[in-house]
Amino acid sequence: MSKTVPVGVSGRHIHLTQEHIEALFGAGYQLTEFKPLSQPGQFAANETVAVVGSKGEFGTVRILGPARPASQLEISRTDSFALGVKAPVRESGNIEGTPGILVKGPAGEVTLEQGVIVAARHIHFHTSDAEKWGIQDKQELKVRVGGERGVVFEHVIARVSDNFALDMHIDTDEANAAGVKNGDQAEIID
C-alpha cells in the first residue's frame, strides 16, 4: 500500500500570544482571518509584523492564528543567517532555551525572550490515517519527495491526533532543495 501525503511548504511565520497581539496591535485587538490552513481551526491572519535580528530584518512576517499560549517565530535556516539568529531545529512548542527576537507591530514592539526556531519537518496524521498505515505518534519516518531534485528526508516526525488533517510540513529550504511546492505528493518509504 503506497503511503502518499500532500506536501505543505511553510514560509517564515509567527505565532503570538494574545498578550503579544495586543502589545503589537493595540488593547483588545483580535486577529482577522486571511485564509484557512490545512489543519482544522488554524488560519493565516491578515496581520503581519516585522522581526529584527542583529544582521537583518524581515518587514512582513505573516501571523498564524489563533493566538497561542507561547509566541514562536518559525524561520528557515537561510532566514536564520539573514537575521543573524542561531535558531535550532525544534518541534513546534519546544522552545525552551531558544533565542529570542525583536518584533514590531503598528502599535508597539515586543522583545521575545525565546521562541525562534527552525521547525523540524513533520507529518500531521489524523488518527485514522495513522492506524491504517501502522504509524505511531512521534515515530520518525523516511519520506521521498521531488523529481529531478528528488530527496529522501530522514527524521520526519509523525504527529497523530483526531484534530489533524494529513499533511507533510517542510520549510522553504527543504522545498527548494527538493524542487517541490505546495500540494505535491510525498511518499513515506520507511
Q: Which residue, 132 or 155, is less far from a copy of itself as judged by CB? A: 155
Which residue lies nearer to a copy of itself by CB, 102 or 151?
Answer: 151
Closer residue to a copy of itself (CB): 25 or 58: 58
Interacting residues toward a copy of itself by CB under 8 A: 76-78, 89, 120-121, 144, 146, 148-155, 171-174, 176-179
Closest distance between a copy of itself and the C-beta of residue 138, in Å? 15
Nearer to a copy of itself, 167 or 174 (CB): 174
Least separation in angstroms between CB 122 and a copy of itself: 12
Nearer to a copy of itself, 148 or 162 (CB): 148
From the CB of 157, what's the least distance to a copy of itself, in Å? 11
* Number of CB atoms found within 10 A of residue 32's CB: 11
Cα distances from 93 to residues 135, 138, 142, 178, 182, in angstroms, run: 22, 14, 23, 26, 23
Amino acid at 122: H
CB of 75 to a copy of itself, least distance (A): 11
- Rounded distance between C-alpha atoms, residue 38 and residue 64, angstroms: 12
User: Euclidean distance between the first and final Cα of the chain, in Å?
Assistant: 12
- Whole-number minimum distance, CB 130 to a copy of itself, in Å? 23
Query: Within 13 A of 125's CA, how many CA atoms are on the CB side?
Result: 24
How far apart are alpha carbons 166 and 115 in whole angstroms?
Answer: 26
